[in-house]
Amino acid sequence: ADAPLVLSVSKGFDAHRQCTMSELIAANIPGASIVVLTGPTIANEVAEGKPTGAVLAAGPVSEV
């Protein structure tokens, strides 16, 4: 079976495990290709039509 593709849109840090959400996903879904959506996108500002930016980040294309 193909490895699952996981899109992470979560914020934060796991203080107990001292890891990022991407690291937590990788530890719990072995072999997953993880793509992260991040940026200064504040919901109420987006809703008001204010400019914002976002970034999708992933590992090597061959893995995604």
Domains of the chain by residue range: 5-63
- At 1, the pLDDT band (50, 70, 90 cuts) reads low
N- to C-terminal Cα separation, the chain: 14
Element (H, E) at 27: helix 21-28
pLDDT at 62: 60
d(CA 60, CA 30) in angstroms, rounded, equals: 17
Instruction: Give the rounded percent of residues in the chain with a pLDDT score beyond 90.
Output: 42
pLDDT of residue 26: 92
Q: What is the mean pLDDT of the chain?
A: 86
Which two structure tokens, joined as six digits, stand for 2?
């193909």
- Using one digit for the tens of pLDDT, what is the confidence trace for 29-56? 988 999 999 888 888 888 999 998 889 9
The pTM assigned to this predicted structure is: 0.71
